[in-house]
Structure 1
């Protein structure tokens, strides 16, 4: 029997886009085993994690084992390789053992190369070394957009034949029921513009504050979902405003409610490997405006309005369009729902399993 180990260090981390990808992908793989699409008599899948997990997996067929005594990068570099000697290791969240050759790694983007100033010195130094090393040693590198494929070839010198693109899925948002009372819980006044992201500088959230006068003039509020992680991204100063409601992390059910109730969704990012939040907003029927940079046009297609992320004036005019024109808002909502349906975790999982099967 062929053993496939999955690096489950992501179970110890707060769920953002990268961890979402890992969780949903493994869930779908588990369903594929259940449906007989993966032969469980031929392939054995097993999650391996350190002990400090915050998300407890619940799968029918894929086992989970806690191994080792270390945590974080030390666990991943020194203990995980020892426990995966007998099989192929799958790493889904940008990192993996630097010197393991029998592995596949998903690298979502090359942001540490393009925007080094957005990360702390220790973080970017380690990730730059690690990504280049993983590109050389791993059997395959999966990435999440054709844009990211080009970035990894350029910055990490990864051979094109090693790189495979698999787009993320969106159906997780449909499995959640919108939480009632979300706006009341967080003291949110309607109508509001929603923004969802980590507070990395290249996410360009300062643009939102630059357009606040226009937002306030149209009696709109802003709701921002996400945390300010200074340990990774360095210290930043954020403008305070009564119009802006920072809600931090929310549950998936609360996020669904915020998407559904928003007058519009803004995504001003300068750099994305994929960009899941706009698709989640589209799937929830929310009209979306996005930056015209990086992978975002590849992912969002013609179902959104684009703006220059360096132009607050351009972003403000797009916001006014979607919030003052009901016909346009309804049209974007319809197109967004249709477009988001092109992205499924089932397709992502099938593509990933095919890559695994061709590697073992």
Structure 2
């Protein structure tokens, strides 16, 4: 029996080349490839595939199946086995009832997120008129469809779900009331930071603050940018600039910030550059509105950069007492925390707390990656013995 690994979920989603679920999937794939050669790599030849993942497939002589040539059902028929996907498939019909399907649910973002009027700011001018009413209608419709989908997923006996945080498990139990605690396994998302000594701090030429995924409404960078902008206006002697990665659409911010020269907008960067930027930053700001696990604050903490973050979803579970928290819907409170972290004594205190917290999280991440690997392979072995 084979393990069919759905690599399409590690490839770009829309305009987003790098995403948390993709990072997660690549690490899980590496772990599985190191434990078993009995893997079929299911991928999309028309999209970017991380060269490192492609090389692992080549070095291990793994069978690669193009999703443009074969459906998941056809792939399993040709290579009998168990399917693992690092992100749940949205089209349940492609799974069917005859495939043993293991998947990771990173969170129930669509179900958890409240309506937020700021989403309209992330849309083009031609689309903003009437967007408020449109979005409220769409979000309600999407909520109902998503809830229906997840309840169908958890009713299927051939689908096995794991998740990445205790928060996400509680969320699933909340929205799917017939499930029991023992029905869902929790394995923390594996570490994305390798050998820290090899990472040099980014040279920006001056003190800088950092945010990521600026184009994505759910990451809420606009509110934090507005908080910084108020500080720059009110405090001319406040030093530093703000670097926002993943920001192809600078127009999102143009209308709402006055001190444009203090903001640097860059596209998505590769993993090594991103870690370098974390390491060089004076402060990492994470105003996200929802996270199933939340890689960025952990990455920043691992590299010794203090963080302020949203007191919401899984972020407090993962960061513990090593972050200074704020209400992500309040620009004024984000502004307070930025100013609060300018206190050198407080900043040093949080850096010390981070060292301990990072060690605790990293230990669980490493242990859980091994447990997840064995969990997936155990289903393959069960299929062989069935």
TM class, shorter-chain normalised? Answer: 0.7 to 0.9
1:277 pairs with 2:277: no
Per the TM alignment, residue 247 of structure 1 is displaced from its structure 2 partner at its CA by 1.1
1:306 pairs with 2:325: yes
Q: Which has the higher helix share?
A: 2
Return the alpha-carbon distance in structure 2 between the equivalents of residues 116 and 50 of structure 1. Answer: 34
1:337 pairs with 2:355: yes
Are the counterparts in 2 of residues 4 and 88 from structure 1 also a CA contact under 8 Å?
yes
Query: Where in structure 2 are the equivalents of 1:115-154 lying within 5 Å?
Result: 115=113, 121=138, 124=142, 130-137=149-156, 138-154=158-174
Residue aligning to 1:259: 278
Q: Secondary structure at the match of 1:323?
A: coil
Q: Secondary structure at the match of 2:321?
A: coil
1:170 pairs with 2:191: yes
Are the counterparts in 2 of residues 24 and 172 from structure 1 also a CA contact under 8 Å?
no
Find the structure with the greater CA-based Rg.
2
Are the counterparts in 1 of residues 211 and 244 from structure 2 also a CA contact under 8 Å?
yes
1:197 pairs with 2:213: yes
Residue aligning to 2:5: 6
Residue aligning to 2:109: 111
Residue aligning to 1:294: 313
Tell me, which stretches of 5 or more residues in structure 1 are unaligned?
Answer: 230-234
Q: After superposition, what is the alpha-carbon deviation per residue over 1:180-234, rounded to whole angstroms, capped at 9, x for unaligned?
A: 7x54xxxx452111112353323222321331222562223111112468xxxxx
Tell me, which stretches of 5 or more residues in structure 2 are unaligned?
Answer: 121-134
Per the TM alignment, residue 309 of structure 1 is displaced from its structure 2 partner at its CA by 2.0
Q: Secondary structure at the match of 1:319?
A: helix
Aligned residues: 333
Q: After superposition, what is the alpha-carbon deviation per residue over 1:55-113, rounded to whole angstroms, capped at 9, x for unaligned?
A: 2312254725033436xxxx7xxx11221241110010232651434101111111112
Per the TM alignment, residue 153 of structure 1 is displaced from its structure 2 partner at its CA by 2.6
Mark the CA change 1:63 to 1:128 in structure 2 (over 3 Å): closer, same or farther: farther
Return the alpha-carbon distance in structure 1 between the equivalents of residues 155 and 206 of structure 2. Answer: 51
Return the alpha-carbon distance in structure 2 between the equivalents of residues 8 and 163 of structure 1. Answer: 23
The two structures have a TM-score, normalised by structure 1, of 0.81
Q: Give the aligned CA root-mean-square deviation in angstroms.
A: 3.1
Mark the CA change 1:62 to 1:204 in structure 2 (over 3 Å): closer, same or farther: farther
* Range with greater deviation from structure 2 (101-110 or 235-244): 235-244
Mark the CA change 1:207 to 1:62 in structure 2 (over 3 Å): closer, same or farther: farther
From 169, 175, 196, give the equivalent of 1:155: 175
Residue aligning to 1:224: 244
Are the counterparts in 1 of residues 162 and 184 from structure 2 also a CA contact under 8 Å?
yes
Return the alpha-carbon distance in structure 2 between the equivalents of residues 11 and 295 of structure 1. Answer: 22
Are the counterparts in 1 of residues 231 and 335 from structure 2 also a CA contact under 8 Å?
yes
* Range with greater deviation from structure 2 (5-14 or 292-301): 5-14
Residue aligning to 2:65: 66
Are the counterparts in 1 of residues 107 and 291 from structure 2 also a CA contact under 8 Å?
yes
Mark the CA change 1:11 to 1:315 in structure 2 (over 3 Å): closer, same or farther: closer
Return the alpha-carbon distance in structure 2 between the equivalents of residues 269 and 21 of structure 1. Answer: 18
Are the counterparts in 2 of residues 193 and 263 from structure 1 also a CA contact under 8 Å?
yes
1:209 pairs with 2:225: yes
